[in-house]
Amino acid sequence: MPITFQPGTQIKLTNVSIVRMKKGGKRFEIACYKNSVSAFRSHVETDLSEVLQIDQIFTNVSKGQVAKPSEWQKAFNTEDMNKAIEEILHKGDLQINEAERQMNLTSLNREIATLVSEMTVDPTTSRKHTVGMIEKAMTESGYSVRSDKPAKAQALELIKRLIAADEAGEGVLSIRRVRMRVRITMPGKDAKRCKEQVLAEVDEVEEQEMGAEWEAIVQINPAAFRTLTDLVNLETKGKGSVESMGSVSG
């Protein structure tokens, strides 16, 4: 049964997360349990009763102002309140207070720095930089963490920025990606024709042997693995192969 609010009535919601969405020129909000929104969006939780503190659509949760059915029905083009709520949950903006926002950004900042530390080394020593050194470089380079973007995507973006700045002589930290060691094999006749083109995608050749079949153990940037695999398959019509042998720091 829908909950109605009388003038002057106050409803106290504890540990509430508010999801807000503007649609059809109107603002709609729903009151959710903390941490339930991300669980619903990732399909870990599918039961709305476990997500919503109140089974209702509001125009303002804090003031207890319930949206008129005619308003949300027109905006969401449905008479099914659950469908409207699900759209708000999936597409709306999760409102958090400033303290939570800063805590989340700090945690995300550390996660990004940790990923960068794991994926890179100091090109001079071949040793990994500490997470603290990465965080300092993020600050000094003016890198802004985005709460709406995955940590791994931001880590890869940061790596590209730090490498580009270092190559331009403006870097705050010298890094390079941890290399991947791969084995390339293909028929010798194909290798004679396209070997140089294949090796152009390689950072370092450890060993190679030519006979009826060409085999090479090489080091590459992990980002080049797909390009190299596609090239070998294309040039050998599927008779060649590129096999990962793990990563190497040195």
Give φ, ψ of 21 to 5 degrees.
Answer: -145, 135
Lowest mean pLDDT among 13-22, 101-110, 168-177: 13-22
In a domain? residue 5:
no
Q: Which residues of 91-124 are buried (b: 16+ CB within 10 A; e: fewer)?
A: ebeeeeeeeeeeeeeeebbbbbbebbbebbbeee
pLDDT of residue 14: 58
Residue pLDDT, tens place only, 220-245: 988 889 999 999 999 999 999 999 99
Single residue among 176, 207, 231 that ends a domain in this structure: 176
pLDDT tens, residue by residue, 49-98:
999 999 999 999 988 899 999 999 999 999 999 999 999 999 998 887 77
Domain end (from 176, 201, 219): 176
Q: How many CB atoms lie within 10 A of CB 177?
A: 21
Q: What percent of the chain has pLDDT over 70?
A: 93
Residue 149 and residue 138 share a domain: yes
Give the pLDDT confidence of 124-157 residue by residue, as tens digits: 888 899 999 999 999 999 999 988 788 999 999 9
Claim to verify: residue 44 and residue 88 sit in the same structural domain: yes
**Domain assignment present for 6:** no
CB 229, CB 242: distance < 8 Å: yes
Q: With both helix axes pointing from N to C terminus, report the angle between 188-199 and 225-236 in degrees, rounded to the nearest 10.
A: 150
Same domain, 70 and 135: no
pTM of the full structure: 0.57
Is 85 within a domain? yes
Domain shared by 155 and 128, yes or no: yes
Phi, psi dihedrals of residue 134, rounded to the nearest 5° = -65, -45
CATH of the domain at 216: 3.30.70.240
**Residue where one domain finishes, among candidates 95, 117, 145:** 95
What is the domain count for the chain?
3
Q: Are 106 and 83 contained in the same domain?
A: no
Residue-range definition of the domain harbouring residue 108:
98-176
Distance between CA atoms of 105 and 139, rounded to whole angstroms?
13
CB atoms closer than 10 angstroms to residue 5: 14
Residues 207 and 146 in one domain: no
Query: Is the separation of the CB atoms in 113 and 138 below 8 Å?
Result: yes
> Per-residue confidence at 8, pLDDT binned at 50, 70, 90?
very low
What's the pLDDT score for residue 249?
62
Condensed to tens digits (0 to 9), the pLDDT of residues 171-221 reads: 789 998 888 999 999 999 999 999 999 999 998 999 999 999 999 999 998
Same structural domain, 237 and 190: yes
